[in-house]
Structure 1
Amino acid sequence: MSGIVLSAAVRQNLLSLQDTAALLSTTQNRLATGNKVNSALDNPTNFFTAQGLNNRASDINNLLDSIGNGVQVLQAANTGLTSLQKLVDTAKSIANQVLQAPAGYTAKSTATSAAAVLGTAANLVDGTGIKSGETIGFAASGELPALTVTIAATESLDQLNTALAAGGLTASLDSSNKLVFTTTNDYAGQTIGAITLGSAGTTTFGGPTAPVADAASQAIRTSLVNQYNGIITQITTTAQDSSFNGINLLNGDNLKLTFDETAKSTLTVSGVTYNAAGLGLGSLTVGTDFTDNASANAALTKLGSASTVLRTEASALGSNLSVVQLRQDFNKSLINVLQTGASNLTLADANEEAANSQALSTRQSIAVSALSLANQSQQSVLQLLR
C-alpha cells in the first residue's frame, strides 16, 4: 500500500520473510505430492521428458495384455500337440497288436501253373516250359506291389524265392511238380495280381485264388479297426479344441504379436491344420484294413510320419513360445526402466525436502524475530509521543 511507509530495515525483513514463506510453501507442496516437478511451470524440460517416458511405458504396458494372450495361445497349441502325440502313440500300439494277432486267413492266395514243369527245385529251367531269360510279371494288387522276375540260365527255386520276396510272394513245387506262387504271411489278406509271362516258355498259370478268412481272427482285427478309428476321430476333435480366445494354431489360424509401441517389432506364428487328414491319417475299413501284417505296417508307416510332423511342429512352437516369453519379460523390464527414468526427473527427495522444510521453518522464526526487532525503533518513538 503506497500510503504506508516502512523503514528500510522493516522492508528488508519483510521481503526476507515473504521469500521464506514462498520457499516453505514450495517445499510443503513437494512433500504433499511427492513430486518436485508437478507442472511444466516447475521445469519444462523435465516435465515433458518425463511425460514422454510415462506415455511410452503406458503404451508398452497396454501391449502386455495381448502378449500374455499370445503366450496362452501358444500354450494351448503346445498342449494340443502333446495330446496328439499321445493319441498317435496309442494308434501305433493298436497297429502293433495286429502284428501280434493270429493269422487272419486259413488259406492264402495262390496261383498255380496249368501243367507240371519239367525242371526241379535245383534248376527250374527246362528249355521248354521255362526258358532262360523268360520274364514273369505280377500286377499290383491291394498291398502287393507290382513285380517282374527274370529267369536266369540255371534258376533254382531258392533263387526265385529271393527275387519274389520283394513282391510279398513265395514259390514252391507241389506234389504234381506244378509251380505254385503263394503270398507271404505279411500279405496273407491280399490276392495275387494278374500274372504275365514272356513268350519264351510254354508254361501258363491259372487265375489266382482268393485268400480264405479265419472268422475268429478277423473278429479280433475288426475290433482293432474300430479302436483305431476311434483314435483317429479323437485326433481331429483334439486339434479342433486346442484354441484360446478364438485362435487355434492347430486348425489353420495364425497369430500375430506386436512387441513395441511403433508396431515395428512383431512376430507372426503360422498355424497348421493337424486334424487326422492334415497328419496324413484316415479311418480304416473293416474287412480291408488290418487284415494282415502288410496293412498294419502301412498304417504304422503313416503314423510314424505323423509323429515326425508333430515333433517338428512342437520344436518350432517351443521356439516361438520362448521368444514371446522373452519379449514379455523384456517389456516388463523396459516399463520399469522408463517409469524409473520419469520418476528420477520429477520425484522429490523426501529426506531433502523434509530437511528444507525444517530449515525454512527455523528461518521463518528468525525472520519474524528480526522483523520484531526492526520495529522496536518505531515503538520507541511511540513511547515518546505518549
Structure 2
Amino acid sequence: MSGIVLSASVRQNLLSLQSTADLLATTQSRLSTGKSVNSALDNPTNFFTAQSLDNRASDINNLLDGIANGVQVLQAANTGITSLQKLIDSAKSIANQALQTTVGYSSKSNVSTTISGATASDLRGTTSYTSADALSNVLYSGATGGVTAAASGTTLGGISGSDTGSVINAATTAAKLLNGAAAGDANAGVVAGDTLTVNGKTITFAAGDQPTTTPTGLTQVATSAGVTTGNVYTDTSGNVTVYLGSTTKASIGDVLTAVDLASGVQSNVAGTLTLNAGQTASTVTGGGALKLQSTTGSDLSVTGKADILKALGLTAATGAGNVTVSATRTTSSTTLSSFISSGSTLNVDGHVITFKDGPTPAAASLASTQGVSGNVVTDGNGNSTVYLQSSTIADVLKAVDFATGVQTFTLNGSGGGTLATASGQTNSSINASGQLKISTGVNADLSITGTGNALSALGLAGNTGTATAFTAARTSGTGGINGKTLTFTSFNSGTAVNVTFGDGTNGTVKTLDQLNTQLQANNLSATIDANGLLTITATNDYASSTLGSTAAGGAIGGTLTTALTFSTASTPVADNVAQTARANLVNQYNNILQQIDSTSQDSSFNGVNLLNGDQLKLVFDETGKSSLNITGVTYNSKGLGLAALTGGVDFIDNAATNKVLTNLNTASSTLRSEASALGSNLTIVQVRQDFNKNLINVLQTGSSNLTLADTNVEAANSQALSTRQSIAVSALSLANQSQQSVLQLLR
C-alpha cells in the first residue's frame, strides 16, 4: 500500500472521514451503553471512582438481607414476649381467684381476753369511780350561844318540854274523873264523841264502860293505879279511844295516858303502858296542874274544843271552836340546834330515808324484810327509817351510806343483819368543824333531795338554806386497762406492736378501729363482742401461721397481760373444702407455667431465639465496624423467676398467694422491660436498614454521575457526525474526480 500515492486532497478527506467514523463509533457506543465512560481509557479517574462506589453499594446491599433477617428475629421475640405477657396475666388471674376463694382455714390462730365493760368505742372497759367527800354546812349543837359544833353522837331529838296549864282545882289528881259528880271531881265538860288531836293522832271520847270484848283493831291499856283506869284503848297507829264509863269512869290520868300514847311518849306493849326510852310521862303537878310532855322526837301539839282545853287548864279560850296548845322541845349541848320534823324525808340517789318520831323498834318486832341497826330500820336495799327519839347524827350518816352503797346491811330475816363497809369505801362522818362529810360512793353521783325540813336541819340546803337539792360527783377514773400496754413481737415479718391504751390522743389507743390500725402492720386484726371479749387474730394473709410460734413470731406481752389473762394461742383449723379448691388452682397455675416454657422455646426465627438465650449480631457496613450485638434472655418460667407451686403449701393462705402474685408482677415487669429493649433495638435496626438502602442509592447515583452519558448530547453528536460523514464522503468523491478524468483518458 505504500506504493499507492494519494493526492493530498484525497488523503485529507480520507483522514477526515476516518476521524468522523471514529467519533461516530464512540458516540454510538455511548448511546448503546448509556455511559460516557466505558473503560479506563475513557476517563481513568471517573471509571475507577465509579467502580469503587458501585463496589461499596454492592457490599452494603449484600448486608441488607442479614439486617432484614435480624428484624424478623426481633419481631419473633417481641411476639413471644406478647404471648408470655398474656400467659402471665392468666397466672395472675388464677392467683387473684385464690385470694377471693375462702381462706384455707375455718379458724385462724388467735388469743383472747375479756375486758369488763369494754366496747368497740372504748376498749378500756368499765369506767372506775372513786368515792368523793361532800361537805354540808356546819351543824351546831343546841348549847347556849349556838357556836358549838355538833358531833357524831349529837341527838336529832331535843329535851322534852311541857305546857303547864292552870290548876283545874287544888284537889285534882290523875285519878279524878273527867265528868264525875263526886266532890273534888274535875268536870272538863267532855261528852261522848268529843275528840282531841295530838301530833296528828286522834283521841276519841266514847260513851259507856270499857267493852267486854275488845273492839277490832284496838288494844286495851291495862289498869294502872293512879295512872289509868283501863278505859283507854289504842290502835297500831297511835290513835286512842277513851271510854268515859258509867261504873268505872275515865279520869284525868286517862287523858294524860291518851296524850302520851298519841304523842309517842309512852307505848302500849301487849296491854302494858310502857314509857319509851328517854321520854318523860305527862303528869299532874303537886299543885294540881297538868304537865303534858312532848317527846324528844316531836314538839307536842294538842287541838280540841276551847271549852274542853280550858276546863283542863290548857287555855284561856272558851267556846265550841277548836284551839291548839303546844309544848316545844328544848335544845342542849347534846342535841342539834335545829330539829328535824317527824315525817321529813331525804331521797338519796333514789332511795328514801324517812324521819319518824317514835322509839326504835326491837328487832323481833320487824318483818322479815326489815332489819335494825342502831336507830335505823332498813329494808336492806337502801331505804331506811330513822327514829328521832333516840337517833344521832351517826344514824343519819349510816342511813345515807345505806342509800349510796358505802355501807351494806345484809338482813338475816329476824330483824338483825350484818353491817359492813363496801370494799374500798370510807363511811360518812362528821368532822371537827361540825360538817357532814358524806361519802358519795361509787355507784352513782350523790343526789339528795328532801321533804319537810330535813335538808335545812342537816345543813344540806345551801348557804341560804333554800336549796332544794344537795349534789356531789364521784371522782371519775378511767377504764380498767387505761395506761396498760399490749405488745406483739414481729409476726411474719410484720412491724412489732406496742400499744398503750388511753383516751385516743398522743398515740394512745381507745377504740377498736385505732387498735386495728396499730395491729395491721403486724398482720393482725382485733374484734370485740357484746361481752367485752377482745380477740386478736392472724389476718387472712397468714391464716396458716400460729401466733407466738418460733416460725411466725407474734409473741404477746406487756403490762396488759398481767392485768388480764389471755388465752393460749390457738392453732389454725384447716378447711378441707377450701384447701381442695385452692389446690385445683395450683394445678391450673402450673399448667400456665408449662405454656410459658413452650412459648419461650418457640419464639425463634431462622434458628435464632432471643427468648431462649441466643445472641444476634447485625453488621451495618461493609467494613464490619458498625454493628449491633443483641444478647438474648432465657424467659422460660425459671428465667422469669416463676416456680411450679405445691398443693397444700402454695395458695394455702393469702400471704402465700401474695408471694406468687409478687413474683408474677416481677415477671410481668421483666417482660415489659425486655419488650422495651427489643423495641429500642428493632428501631435501631430498622433505622440502619433504611439508612443502608438510602446510602446504596447515594453511592449508585454518585457512580452514575461519573460515568453516565448525556443521551441528548450524544444523539446530537451522532446526528452531527452522520452529517459530517456524508459531507466527507462527498468531498472525497470530489477529490477523486481528477483521477477519474485520467481514467477516462485511459479508456
Please give the range of the TM-score, normalised by the shorter of the 2 chains: 0.7 to 0.9
1:27-53: CA deviation from partner (whole Å, max 9, x where unpaired): 222233332212111110110110110
CA distance in 2: counterparts of 1:205 and 1:234, whole angstroms: 51
Q: Take 1:225 and 1:193, find their aligned partners in 2: how far apart are those partners?
A: 29
Q: What's the counterpart of residue 293 of structure 1?
A: 654
Change (3 A) 1:319 1:211: same
CA distance in 2, matches of 1:244, 1:285: 35
Deviates more, 1:341-350 or 1:167-176: 167-176
Alignment-derived partner of residue 124 in structure 2 = 123
Task: Quote the offset at 1:172 in angstroms.
Answer: 5.0
C-alpha contact 1:134 1:197 (8 A) present in aligned 2 = no
Question: In the aligned structure 2, how far is the partner of 1:25 from the partner of 1:212?
Answer: 107
Paired letter, 2:714: E
Separation of aligned partners in 2, 1:87 and 1:277:
14
Match of 2:732 among 356, 364, 371: 371
CA gap of 1:280–1:207, structure 2 versus 1, over 3 A, is farther
1:76 is matched with 76
For 1:168, the aligned partner's letter is N
Is 1:253 paired with 2:614?
Answer: yes
Determine if the alignment matches structure 1 residue 147 to structure 2 residue 489. Answer: no
Q: Which runs of 5+ in 2 are unaligned?
A: 129-479, 504-508
CA drift of 1:326 comes to 1.3
1:337 matches 2:698: yes
Find the counterpart in structure 2 of residue 22 from structure 1.
Answer: 22
The equivalent residue for 1:184 is 539
C-alpha distance in structure 1 between counterparts of 2:534 and 2:713, whole Å: 110
Which amino acid counterpart does residue 266 of structure 1 have in structure 2?
A: S
CA RMSD for the aligned pairs?
3.1
Report the alpha carbon displacement of residue 117 of structure 1 after superposing the two structures with TM: 7.0
Equivalent in the alignment of 1:325: 686
Question: Residue by residue, what CA displacement relative to the aligned partner does 1:241-262 show, whole Å, maximum 9, x if unpaired?
Answer: 2222333322333333222223
Q: Paired residue for 2:677, among 309, 316, 319?
A: 316
C-alpha distance in 2, partners of 1:119/1:138? 27
* Cα shift at 1:59: 1.4
Q: Work out the number of aligned pairs and report it.
A: 381
Write out aligned runs for 1:1-386 (5 A): 1-111=1-111, 120=118, 122-123=123-124, 134=485, 136-138=487-489, 140-141=491-492, 145=494, 147-152=496-501, 156=510, 158=512, 159-172=514-527, 180-194=535-549, 195-198=554-557, 201-202=561-562, 208-386=569-747
Q: Is the 8 A contact 2:491 2:523 kept in 1?
A: no
Structure 1: distance between partners of 2:57 and 2:653: 66
Q: Is the 8 A contact 1:31 1:350 kept in 2?
A: yes
Q: TM-score, normalised by structure 1?
A: 0.86
Compared with structure 1, are the counterparts of its residues 352 and 315 closer, same or farther at alpha carbon in structure 2 (3 Å cutoff)?
same
Segment of structure 1 superposing worse, 48-57 or 227-236? 227-236
Q: Report sequence identity in percent.
A: 64
Match of 2:611, SS?
A: coil
**Is 1:242–1:248's contact at 8 Å kept on the other side of the alignment?**
yes
Range with greater deviation from structure 2 (284-293 or 171-180) = 171-180
Question: What do residues 202-245 of structure 1 show as CA deviations (whole Å, max 9, x unaligned)?
Answer: 46766643322222222221111111111122223322322223
Q: Tell me the TM-score normalised to structure 2 length.
A: 0.47
Give distance in 2, aligned partners of 1:363 and 1:173.
122
In our comparison, the structure showing a higher alpha carbon Rg is 2
Give the unaligned 5+ runs of structure 1: none
Aligned equivalents of 1:283, 1:206: Cα separation in 2: 39
Give CA-to-partner distance per residue, 1:141-164, whole Å, 9 cap, x none: 5xx746343444676572443322
One-letter amino acid matched to 2:667: A
Partner SS state of residue 240, structure 1: helix
| Residue identity in the other structure for 2:671 | L
Q: Distance in 2 between matches of 1:135 and 1:180?
A: 13
Contact in 2 for aligned 1:139/1:193 (Cα 8 Å): no
Q: State the Cα deviation string for residues 261-309 of structure 1 (Å, max 9, x = none).
A: 2333333333333332333322222111222333333322332232222
2:736 is paired with a residue whose SS is helix
Which stretch shows the higher mean deviation, 266-275 or 220-229? 266-275
Whether contact under 8 Å (2:495, 2:522) holds in the other structure is yes
Deviations 1:316-358 (A, max 9, x none): 2212211211110111111011112112222233343333333
Higher helix share: 1
